[in-house]
């Protein structure tokens, strides 16, 4: 193909992408309305829409309501969200989550497998291969109807190459997850950092991503992570390490982190750090409320029992959780000062209770003295579900943006 031919093909992909993005964000509408919104000629819209209807990407839905002009009626069109299915894989502890979904991010089925640190990539690939077979078989779906597989994995990821550079001990370093899974599944696979996939899922599912916003997405649970969103696009950084708030140093010469550094925010504020500290002091005398809640069995200490004891004001538990929230808030303030986001999306098990969010707000008011942050903080509209939606969104975003191509 000559240069002119390549340029024409690129223009076609861009135009198709604009049409699909407009329908995805705004819903069904007429060809004329699409032309008005994206500035293409009616002829260009007609040609591209006709092609995508023939491919099965777009469907006609019927006449536009309240059309007053005489002559030929306008027909609404929309994306065919039943065109194909998408598979999402979330790789982090405590579970690998395999999700079957549609192009509108609706979840069809979910399959989970518990994993532990050090499981290794060969075992991970087998778990995923078996899990995908199970989820397809129980839904009677052939592999030909799968558009692609999106994978979110914890740690440092080169998304361009699909390489997991450091998953903090789940698998070996510098493993091409994309290559290994494409060989095993015989499907197209795209890989990114787990928190960035969650943030992408938040953006796409909101259906309110036409405004150019800069957001900070925070995940707080077993670990602490974040993603930076600039003009509704994920910013990964030069080495794909942008947004690693959990691995910023907050306590020099502190405890060793799973990333290999010392004094990271995760060593103080993550749920595993909080749980570890509480287990070391756990007793009937030191943590009486938690002791009663857990029936005197240290194995019953988990996120839910800790937060229950915190809510009931078990003094030592309160001290440990408050310290975790303080260092988290200080780190968040530093990020806010650098990035100046319009909104801060809070996601994760720590944010399920208003009590925790209110405590963070009080820290910003009483100790940090930054009152402007309060209005920016908001809980994710998908709290608890982005591990399913996020990886799917990798494929959906590529497909829509690239005009129906991966």
> Is residue 66 predicted with pLDDT exceeding 90?
no
Q: How many CA atoms lie within 13 A of 268 on its CB side?
A: 24
Does this model's pTM top 0.85? My answer is: yes
Instruction: Order across the sheet with 189-193: list the strands.
Output: 107-114, 95-102, 85-91, 146-153, 189-193
> Is residue 5 predicted with pLDDT exceeding 70?
no
- Using one digit for the tens of pLDDT, what is the confidence trace for 96-155? 999 999 999 999 999 999 998 899 999 999 999 999 999 999 999 999 999 999 999 999
Burial of residue 95, with CB atoms counted within 10 A of its CB: 0-12 exposed, 13-18 middle, 19 or more buried: middle
State the average pLDDT over residues 183-203: 96
- Using one digit for the tens of pLDDT, what is the confidence trace for 236-253? 888 888 888 999 999 898
Domains for the chain: give ranges and CATH numbers: 3-79 (1.10.10.10), 85-203+386-401 (3.30.420.40), 244-341+349-379 (3.30.420.40)
For the chain, state the CA radius of gyration. Answer: 24
Of 232-241, 258-267, 393-402, the range with the lowest mean pLDDT is 232-241
pLDDT at 253: 87
> Is residue 39 predicted with pLDDT exceeding 70?
yes
**What angle (nearest 5°) sits at the alpha carbon of residue 47, between those of residues 42 and 49?**
90
State the average pLDDT over residues 359-378: 94
DSSP 256: B
Q: Which long-range contacts (CB under 8 A, 24 or more apart) does 289-296 make?
A: 289/313, 289/314, 289/317, 290/314, 290/317
Residue with the bigger pLDDT between 392 and 70: it is 392
> Is residue 4 predicted with pLDDT exceeding 60?
no
pLDDT at 8: 77
> Is residue 346 predicted with pLDDT exceeding 70?
yes
């Amino acid at each position: 193909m000559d240069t002119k031919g390549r340029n024409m093909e690129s223009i076609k992909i861009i135009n198709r992408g604009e049409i699909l993005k407009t329908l995805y964000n705004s819903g069904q509408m007429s060809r004329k309305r699409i032309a008005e919104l994206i500035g293409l000629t009616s002829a260009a819209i007609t040609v591209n829409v006709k092609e995508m209807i023939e491919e099965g990407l777009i469907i006609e839905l019927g006449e536009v309501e309240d059309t007053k002009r005489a002559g030929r009626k306008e027909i609404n069109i929309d994306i065919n969200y039943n065109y194909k299915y998408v598979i999402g894989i979330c790789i982090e502890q405590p579970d690998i989550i395999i999700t079957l979904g549609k192009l509108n991010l609706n979840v069809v089925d979910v399959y989970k497998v518990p994993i532990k640190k050090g499981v290794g990539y060969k075992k991970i690939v087998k778990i995923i291969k078996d899990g995908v077979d199970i989820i397809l078989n129980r839904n009677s779906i052939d592999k030909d109807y799968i558009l692609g597989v999106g994978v979110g994995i914890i740690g440092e990821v080169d998304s361009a190459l699909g390489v997991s550079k450091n998953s903090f001990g789940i698998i070996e370093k510098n493993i091409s997850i994309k290559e290994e899974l494409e060989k095993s599944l015989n499907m197209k696979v795209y890989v990114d950092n787990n928190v960035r996939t969650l943030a992408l899922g938040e953006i796409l599912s909101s259906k309110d991503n036409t405004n150019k916003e800069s957001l900070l997405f925070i995940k707080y649970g077993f670990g602490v992570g974040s993603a930076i969103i600039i003009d509704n696009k994920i910013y990964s950084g030069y080495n794909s390490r942008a947004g690693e708030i959990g691995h910023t140093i907050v306590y020099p010469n502190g405890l060793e982190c799973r990333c290999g550094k010392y004094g990271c925010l995760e060593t103080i504020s993550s749920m595993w750090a909080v749980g570890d500290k509480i287990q070391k002091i756990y007793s009937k005398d030191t943590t009486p409320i938690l002791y009663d809640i857990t029936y005197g069995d240290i194995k019953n200490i988990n996120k839910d029992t800790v937060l229950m004891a915190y809510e009931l004001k078990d003094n030592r538990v309160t001290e440990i959780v408050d310290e975790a929230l303080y260092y988290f808030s200080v780190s968040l303030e530093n990020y806010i000062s650098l990035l100046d986001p319009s909104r801060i999306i809070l996601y994760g098990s720590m944010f399920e209770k208003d009590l925790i969010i209110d405590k963070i707000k009080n820290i910003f008011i009483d100790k940090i003295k930054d009152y402007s942050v309060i209005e920016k903080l908001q809980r994710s509209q998908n709290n608890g579900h982005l591990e399913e939606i996020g990886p799917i969104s990798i494929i959906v975003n590529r497909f829509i943006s690239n005009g129906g191509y991966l």
